[in-house]
Amino acid sequence: MGIMRYEEFISMIFRLDYTQPLSDEYITVTDTTFADIPVRLYLPKRKSETRRRADLVVNKAAADVTEFAKLLSQDM
């Protein structure tokens, strides 16, 4: 018996950790989705003469935590 379910608590923590995208004169920051997965894009404003590398960071920890919380909340 508790104040809230595990999923609600984890969701609340992730909402508190969210920061708004902040751009400056060198970079444009936007939030978008790819295949229903929220992503944040950091796009340079200056044009490059060569091809740029990209880093794709996938944070699977959020999915693992919610799956663990779902397992804990199931009746055994």
Per-residue pLDDT of 47-75, as tens digits, reads 878 887 777 666 666 556 666 666 666 65
Regarding pTM above 0.75, the answer is: no
Per-residue pLDDT of 8-51, as tens digits, reads 888 888 788 777 888 888 888 888 887 777 788 888 888 878 88
| Residue 3, pLDDT score | 83
d(CA 76, CA 73): 9
Contacts of 7 (CB under 8 A, 6+ apart): 66, 69, 70, 73
